[in-house]
Amino acid sequence: MNLRRTTTTRRALAAATIAAGLVLSMAGCGGDGDKGEGDATKSSAPAERGADSKEKSAAPTTDEPLAEVKGEGGISLTVTSAQRDAGGFVTVKGTVANGTGKAWVPVDWRGDERELMSNGGSIAGASLVDQKAKKKYLILRDTEGRCLCTRFTGGVRNGHTADWYAQFPAPPDGTSEVTFQVGSMPPAQLNLTEGE
């Protein structure tokens, strides 16, 4: 079976399970939607371990990136897509380039929550912020605290680029602009696109 088709099928199943869990949890919650702003969304879906990244040499892409931010002494973060999927979540994808002069492990990108510490060098601490609605969306994770995001196993060598992805609960349908934030990197303004 084609690896791409397998990954797509696995993501579709995870999305359906996550959406069902979100619907059930939203049905049990009533009242003010602003409460629990920083609460993490949990899913009972099987863990899709964060697709360990594979390093590759920097190569130019033909697609225009949605955002590029630089920080942390030579780390560059590029966001190539921020797509709202039918399953009720947003998948953000991009690349990170290491220009620090040494190997880089994104320790502060995993987040401060105790639950996220087991994700190691990952992008688990990222968030999406809907400035208009004043809501913050944390990365989706399974019941064991594993994020639905990339883990940078072994870090990123100097001069190399690694692909990453992160999945979040989807903001309401009327929201088309969000801010992506991870670690001490500057915030990146993103326009959400609709999935197929």
Query: How would DSSP label each residue in 3-23?
Result: HHHHHHHHHHHHHHHHHHHHH
d(C-alpha 103, C-alpha 101), whole Å: 7
Find tokens 């989807």 and name the residue: 170
- Tens digit of pLDDT at every position of the chain (196 positions): 454 444 555 555 455 455 444 443 444 444 444 433 334 333 333 344 444 444 444 444 456 889 999 987 899 999 999 999 888 999 999 999 999 999 988 888 887 777 767 777 888 889 999 998 899 999 998 888 788 998 888 889 999 999 999 999 999 988 899 999 998 899 999 999 987 6
Length of the chain, in residues: 196
Burial class of residue 20, CB neighbours in 10 A (0-12, 13-18, 19+): middle
Q: What is the number of helices (H) and of strands (E) in the chain?
A: 1, 12
pTM: 0.65
- Token pair listed for 150: 């990339």
Sign of CA pseudo-dihedral 164, 92, 36, 41:
negative
| pLDDT in the model for residue 9 | 52
